[in-house]
Chains A and B, each alone.
Chain A
C-alpha cells in the first residue's frame, strides 16, 4: 500500500513538473484514440442506414430486371420466392430538365407506393398522381428539387409531387441514372419505348439471395446493392482504420522519444531512488504509472471527440434513411483504452526496464553510452563536408533514435503518398462523373466525404509527425550539447554545428521519403482491396518523388530552431555541464 502511494505521488509530481511534455503526449495519444473511436463508430454504423431503409420500405431481397415482362412473371413463381411486386416498366430518358439543367434519368411507372415488396417511403410531398412525379431523395438532393417544383421529362411538363427513399435501387450517384417515379399513364404519355422491366422479390431465405441470383439471370441481391449504397461509409471506415494504425505508430514513436529522452535526463534520479532502496520494480512502476495516467486521459478524450466527430465525417447517402447518431459501445471504449495503454506500454517498457536494470552506481555516475562505430560509415563521412560529417556522426551515435525518426517520417510519408494516390483516383472518378448521367454542378457526396476524412487524417498525421520531428531534434540537440561544444572548441562555427544537427535529422528524412513512396502505395492497394473498391489507375506517379524533397525540406525547417538554439549555447557552459 505504501509503495502504491509512493508510486502515485512520484508519478503525479513528475507529470506536474513536466506539463508541456505531458501535454504533447496527451495530444499524440488522443489523436490515436480519437481516430480509433471514430473508426469503430463509423465502421459499426456503416451498414445500419441500409438495414433501416430496407426495414422502412419493405426492401426486396432481390430485384430482377429484364427487357421482357413475361420473363419476370415466370420468376415470380420460382422456388424460394415468397412474394413479388410489379413488374414495373422503366423508361430511360436523356432529357430530364429542371431550370437550365439537363440530365439522364430512369422513370419507373407505378401507380402507388404500396405492394407486398418495395414500398418507397415518402419523406416529403405525396405519391405521384396525374402530371406529378416522385424523385428519389439522393437524386432530388443533387437536382435541388422539392415538391411543387416543375420539371420536364422528354419535353413534357411535370410537377414534383414528392420525394422518397427506396431499397429497391442503389441511390444516385452510386447507381446512374437517377430514379423518378411516375404514374403508368404518364409513363406511356412520355412516348418513349420501355427500356426494361423490374420486379422486386421477397425470398424465403434472404441470406440465400446470392445463390438465387446466380441461379437466375438479371437478378441483383440486396447484399450487393447494400454494399454499393454504403460504399462511401465503408471507404471512410477503411481510411480511418489505416489512419488509426499510422497514428498509433507515430504515437509510439513520440512516446518513445519522450520517455527515452526523459530517462537519459532522469537516469540520475532513478539511481537515487534505487540508492535509497527502491526496487527496480518500483522505479519501473513509477515510469509506467505516469504514462498509464496519460493513456487513460487520452482514451477519454478520444472517445468523446470520436463520438462528436463521427456524424460530421460519416453521413449516409441522402438516398438512405439516416438514424440517430452512431452509438458508442462498451466494446469500443474498452478497445480504445486497451490500445492507448498498449501504445504507451510498448513505448515505455523497453527504456524503463533498461533504465532500471542499470546498476545504481553507474546510474549515479551519469549517463554513459558505449561508443558505437561503423567503419563504413566513418570512412564515408570522412569525405563529406564538415556539417554533414558532424551530423552523420551524431546520427550514428544514437542509432535507435535515428531509426525512430526514420519510422515516424516513413509512416507519415507513406500516408501522404496513400492520400495522394487516393486523391488521384477520386479526382479521376469525379472527372468521370460528368456526362449525361450526372447532374452538372452537383458535387458527389460519396467522394466529398472520403476527401474530407482523408484530408483530416492527413492533417492529423502531419501534425503528429511534426511534433515527433521537433521532439527528436530537441532530444538530439540535448544529446549533442557536449560533443557540439567540443567541436566548437576545436574550431567549428555555430553555423556548422547547427547545420550538422539538422543534417543528423535529414538523413532519416531522406530515407523515410524514399521508403514512404512504395510503402504508401502498398497501403493504398491493401486498403482498396480490403474495402472492395476499385481504382489505382489514376495515381499521379510522376508527382510522388516530390515526397522526398518535401520531407527533407519540412524536417529541415522543423528542426532548424532546436538545432540553432543548441548550436549557439555558450561552449564553456556545455562543457561544464556533466
Chain B
C-alpha cells in the first residue's frame, strides 16, 4: 500500500530568466512500512522536496497524496491538523525548544493536538523509554549530547503515531558515534514497520534504507533497491581476496 504519493511535483522560485526549478516534476511513491532515502549533493533540491512532502511549503504544481487524501490543496489549518497525526518531522539542527525538558519537548505535538496533559506525559515517557532516554527525561536539551538530542527529536516526531516520519539530514550535525546512535534507532523503527523518508547526503544514513533515490538538479535520477542485500561481509574484510 502506498502511503505517500507524488505526481509531477514541482517547486519553482523566481520567474522569467531567474526561474529556478528546485523540484522538477518528481514522481515518488513511498510504500507503507518502507524506508526511503533521498540522496544527492547539497543544493539538489532534496530539502525542498522534503518540505513539500511534509506540507511545510506549497508546490508550484503537481499532486501530492497521503494515503487517500490529496494534501497539496489543503489550507494551512488543515495541513497543521494533518501534521499532528500523519507526519512527524526530524530536522538536522534538532530544533528542540531550549527551555523545555526532553519530556516536555516530546509532549509538545501531543499538547498541540489537544491530548490531555496526563496522556501526553505518559506517551512521552514511553517514547523516551523507547529511544533509550528514559533517565534523561527531565534534562534540558543543553544537558544532552547531540545524538541524545536527535533521539529526543525522533521521539517527538513519533508521538502522534505518524503515518510517515520525514527526516531532513538527521545526522548532519552529528559525529560518527552519535550517527550510529541515531541510525540504530532508525533501523529499529524500520523493523517495527514505521514508514520513513530520509533526506541525506550521508551514505551511511542512505544505507539503512530499503530504497535509495538519487536526486540531481531537482529531479530524481536513480533508484537503488537495498532490500536484496545481505551477501556476507567477508569480501569487505579482504578475506576472500
Contact = CB atoms under 8 A, between A and B. Distances in A.
A–B direct contact (CB < 8 Å): yes
Interface of A: 371-373, 378, 382-383, 386, 389, 393, 396-397, 483, 486-496, 568, 570-573, 575
A381 to B, nearest CB: 10
22 contacts: A371-B98, A371-B142, A393-B100, A396-B99, A397-B99, A483-B97, A487-B108, A488-B83, A489-B83, A489-B95, A491-B81, A491-B85, A491-B112, A491-B160, A492-B112, A493-B76, A493-B81, A495-B77, A496-B112, A571-B51, A571-B56, A572-B56
Interface string B128-163: 000000000000111000000000000010001000
Given A393-B99, A488-B80, A494-B80, A378 B112 contact: no
Contacts of A494: 76-77, 80
Contacts of A397: 99
Contact of B77 (A382, A383, A489, A493): A493
A62 to B, nearest CB: 72
Given A491-B81, A491-B113, A568 B76 contact: yes
B58 interface: yes
Q: What's the interface size class on B, roughly?
A: 20 to 34
B41 interface: no
A490 B76 contact: no
Contacts of B98: 371
Nearest to B48: A572
DSSP class of B's interface residues: helix, strand, loop or mixed? helix
A393 to B, nearest CB: 7
Given A372-B99, A382-B117, A489 B112 contact: no
Contacts of A372: 99
A491 B77 contact: no
A378 B98 CA distance: 12
A571 B80 CA distance: 11
B89 A489 contact: yes
Interface in B93-115: 95, 97-100, 104, 107-109, 111-114
A464 to B, nearest CB: 32
Q: Which of A378, A489, A494, A572 has the most CB of B within 10 A?
A: A489
Q: Which of A373, A495, A572 has the most CB of B within 10 A?
A: A572
B84 interface: yes
A372 B160 CA distance: 28
A493 B141 CA distance: 25
Nearest to B159: A490
A496 B84 CA distance: 13
A378 B156 contact: no
A386 B112 CA distance: 6
B140 A371 contact: yes
A178 B113 CA distance: 75
A355 to B, nearest CB: 21
A483 B91 CA distance: 13
A486 to B, nearest CB: 5
Interface in B36-58: 48, 51, 54, 56-58
Nearest to A494: B76
A491 B56 contact: no
Contacts of A383: 117
B57 A493 contact: no
Closest 4 CB pairs of A and B: A371-B98, A491-B84, A493-B80, A572-B57
B99 A386 contact: no
A195 to B, nearest CB: 78
Given A489-B89, A490-B156, A491-B84, 12 more contacts: A378-B100, A386-B111, A393-B97, A483-B97, A486-B97, A491-B160, A493-B77, A493-B80, A495-B77, A570-B58, A572-B56, A575-B91
A371 to B, nearest CB: 3
Interface string B73-93: 000110011011100010100
Contact of A572 (B51, B80, B114, B156): B51
A484 to B, nearest CB: 12
B76 A575 contact: no
Nearest to A567: B76
Contacts of B81: 491, 493
Nearest to B120: A382
A487 B160 CA distance: 14
Nearest to A373: B99
Contacts of B117: 382-383
A491 B57 contact: no
A488 B141 CA distance: 20
Nearest to A374: B99
Given A570-B58, A572-B56, A486 B95 contact: yes
Nearest to B114: A386
A272 to B, nearest CB: 23
Nearest to B52: A572
B112 A371 contact: no
A570 B59 CA distance: 12
Nearest to B58: A570
Given A386-B111, A571-B57, A572-B51, A492 B99 contact: no
B104 A491 contact: no
Contact of B54 (A371, A378, A489): A489
A72 B30 CA distance: 112
B48 to A, nearest CB: 8
Nearest to A382: B117
A344 to B, nearest CB: 32
A478 B47 CA distance: 24
A490 B55 CA distance: 11
Contacts of A568: 76
Q: Which of B98, B114, B160 has the most CB of A within 10 A?
A: B98
Contacts of B112: 386, 487, 490-492, 496
A102 B185 CA distance: 97
A492 B84 CA distance: 8
